[in-house]
Amino acid sequence: MDMDIPPAIPVQPTRFLDKLRSFIRMRGLAYATEKTYVFWIRRFIRFHGRKHPETMGSADVEAFLSHLVLQANASVATQRVALNALIFLYREFMGIPLDNLNYEAARKPAKLPTVFSPEEAKTTINNLEGEYRLIAMLIYGSGLRINEVLRLRVKDVDFGMQQLVVRSGKGNKDRITLLPSSLIQSLTRQIEAALHQHSSDLAKGYGSVYLPAGLARKYPNASQEPGWQYVFPAAELSVDPRSGIRRRHHMIDRTVQKNFRIAIRSAGIRKPANSHTFRHSFATRLLESGYDIRTIQKLLGHADVRTTEIYTHVVRKGGFGVRSPIDDAF
């Protein structure tokens, strides 16, 4: 089972981290945020010899944040994530503010993103087959993150408006991005195949897809409806670790990443590229076409335009036509 399904916790948790997880879920934060916060809070506790957070305070937080820079060589972004997790722990969960923190701040400049040339992107995609090829084309053609593609459900593909709806993306926010014209036929076939698999599962007594707990309670029959099925279902059924129900989840990212690595290597590309390089390349191609930075920010789902502006350092701006890069390549 993929790791994007929150593990079960006791109804009345007694362990500290279980209580924290329960609090995070009551706040409605994304599971990715939960995993990140728990990771850094656990690391903070271990750094201080497994002392309970209630016995620690600002000085201990400062020591840990400084350690990340001085000994662990953490980046600005990494230190910021750790800081956010600890502020949430103390201010939100424990009701203890952390004011006027004094720690060694990371000063490492942000790395420029690795970007494919149009030829490299096309060659890499041509080295992929079937679902893996379509997933790469969606990342490059729509600017999605790999898990945003894998979590797409049938109802989130709007052929009429020619758009994709990304549900609970990074930051637990929904957004809309474009559906390239050149991918409509392939995506239609993929959905038809997914729904055929769903019908087969239903006939065998399965076919109930995973839904977040709130949705599952609100719409008890939705898990078997076609619209809620994953566009890229897993090849095999698996057991949901929370409910014990045998069902078909979506494809897992590590399998897709493995195929991408092979395709990149076969293309003779030596730069440090991966699935996210397609997303970087999407933004770069649009900037090269003179597309507005704010619009690109919305398509990518960046909370801060400064995150998007990093692409201006690797781009050569061209004309003003706005087309998905995938439409010109295929």
Sheet with 157-158: strands ordered across: 157-158, 163-166, 175-178
Distance CA(116)–CA(134), nearest Å, equals: 17
Catalytic residue among 122, 145, 249, 285: 145
Kindly state the average pLDDT of the residues 56-77: 90
Distance CA(148)–CA(145), nearest Å, equals: 5
Kindly state the average pLDDT of the residues 290-315: 87
Give the residue from 274, 268, 153 showing the smallest Cα distance to 215.
Answer: 153
Q: What is the pLDDT of residue 158?
A: 96
Catalytic residue among 42, 246, 276, 298: 276
Contact 248, 234 (CB under 8 A): yes
Instruction: Work out the percent of the chain whose per-residue pLDDT is above 70.
Output: 93
What are the structural domains of the chain? 16-93 (1.10.150.130), 118-329 (1.10.443.10)
- Mean pLDDT highest for which of 77-86, 99-108, 307-316? 77-86
Active site residue 170: yes
Cα–Cα distances in angstroms (integers) from residue 61 to residues 20, 55, 77, 108, in the given order: 18, 12, 17, 20
Catalytic residue among 67, 170, 242, 298: 170
Kindly state the average pLDDT of the residues 312-317: 66
Active site residue 279: yes
Active site residue 280: no
What kind and span of H or E run contains 59? Answer: helix 58-70
Q: What is the mean pLDDT of the chain?
A: 89
**Do the strands 238-239 and 157-158 form a parallel or antiparallel pair, or are they unpaired?**
unpaired
**Residue 315 pLDDT > 80:** no
Active site residue 107: no
Catalytic residue among 279, 280, 285, 291: 279
Active site residue 311: yes
Catalytic residue among 198, 247, 248, 302: 302
Active site residue 276: yes
